[in-house]
Structure 1
Amino acid sequence: MIVLGYWNLRGYAQSIRLLLEYLQVEYKDKIYHENGDEWFNVDKKELKTDFPNLPYLIDGDIVVTESLVIPIYLAKKFKKYELIGQNHDGSFNQKEITFLQILQILKDLRDQLNASAKVPSFKQEKDQIFKENFNLIFEKIKKQLGENSYILGNLSYLDFYFYEVLKVFQFFYPKLSIFTDFIDRIENIPQIKAYLQTKQNKIFLFDRMKNQFYF
């Protein structure tokens, strides 16, 4: 069985969970709690890779780390190449470049939001920060999406990642109402809809993270 290791939060693992659920792959969440003892003192030392990190994925003898690499491995393993922008047979498609570009842009966007929200002045300046730092990226994604249901035209991992980025933004900006149709579309994919109703998903709520940020 595939094992996905990560902290006891959504973080960079949640969109990978959504991908696993979409693929209907049996997997186990290996959860590390806040003190980090089990990870730093045991598993990190024993993980069979030169680059131990969280999240990690263990698939038999194969160990994959880094949040942007794990979904590529999964798409290739299960021959769902279109999920990473390639053609259905795994051959190159220009969408693959767009996939990687937007994936990195969204990760940077999310990291910037997390960093901004840890600064005390964020509470007073959050609307201005959104206008100056985030709004332009969302406008570019909106243009890329156009009239399509999904960012690349077809469903890809990028859509799961963007969905999670949007949920993070909603956490910090509860009144923010953007891409609501897109969010509904992802949440109504049968496999995702079923997962969102499970006890496992309920573990990874945002609310308990509030003491880490300024609202």
Structure 2
Amino acid sequence: MVVTLGYWDVRGLAHAIRLLLEHTETPYEERQYSLGPAPNFDPSDWTNEKEKLGLDFPNLPYLIDGSTKLTQSNAILRYIARKHNMCGETEEEKLRVDMLENQVMDLRLSFIRLCNNPDFLTFVDFVAYDVLDQQRMFVPDCPELQGNLGQFLQRFEALEKIGAYMRSGRFMKTPIFWRTAQWCNKKE
């Protein structure tokens, strides 16, 4: 029997479900919903249908597998995983899988909030810059700090107030660590 996966016409929360359906060779069809154009982004493609599907909690994504009708991405993933013995075998394995699932979801939600923030700059950017800058000082030719991460460092340093601070006498480039450290323990 072919299951139906319903979601917006974006990768979003349904992508992991699609991957798991493909991996488990579960036959499925998709019902992709579209938002209308800007500036209103009319959701009626979904809202006109959502109450007609018999879902206990009408939401996207949803999965319909015969009489089984599920919403919530993690519930859908767990349902598919149970059918294919992919939730861990021992109680300890199942607990670890549950914790990891929620840890990854926390990361996902933080990333979603960041990407939907119109200012797109949080305090984490400051911590990330500091750590990446130290890595760049430690290994100046590090290939991982060339592409996107290198561009991030450049954009951060180009921020007006950050650039002014870095050019001022108040800016402290070194030392990074106490004198007991083996690297970057002296003012340069």
TM-score by length of 2: 0.60
Counterpart CA distance in 2 for 1:75 and 1:111 is 22
**Larger RCO, structure (CA 8 Å, separation 6 or more):** 1
SS in 2 for 1:75: helix
Counterpart CA distance in 2 for 1:98 and 1:47 is 34
**What is the aligned residue count?**
128
Is the counterpart of residue 76 in structure 1 residue 87 in structure 2?
no
Identity of aligned residues (%): 35
Counterpart CA distance in 2 for 1:124 and 1:48 is 41
Could you say if the C-alpha distance between residues 114 and 45 of structure 1 is closer, same or farther in structure 2, counting changes exceeding 3 Å?
same
- State the superposition RMSD in angstroms: 2.6
1:175 is matched with which residue: 128, 140, 148? 148
Q: What is the identity, as a one-letter code, of the residue corresponding to 2:97?
A: F
Gaps spanning 5+ residues in structure 1: where? 136-173, 177-215
Post-superposition Cα deviations, 1:116-152, rounded to whole Å, max 9, x if no partner, equal 23334325866326479xx9xxxxxxxxxxxxxxxxx
Is the counterpart of residue 62 in structure 1 residue 68 in structure 2?
yes
Tell me which residue corresponds to 2:164: none
Rg (Cα) greater in structure? 2
Gaps spanning 5+ residues in structure 2: where? 36-41, 133-146, 150-188
SS in 1 for 2:23: helix
Q: What is the identity, as a one-letter code, of the residue corresponding to 1:84?
A: C
TM-score by length of 1: 0.53
2:105 is matched with which residue: 107, 117, 140? 107
In the TM superposition, structure 1's runs of 4+ consecutive aligned residues that sit over 4 Å from their partners are 123-126, 129-132
* CA deviation after TM superposition for structure 1 residue 108, in Å: 1.3
Higher helix residue share: 1
Is the counterpart of residue 41 in structure 1 residue 14 in structure 2?
no
Q: What is the identity, as a one-letter code, of the residue corresponding to 1:65?
A: T
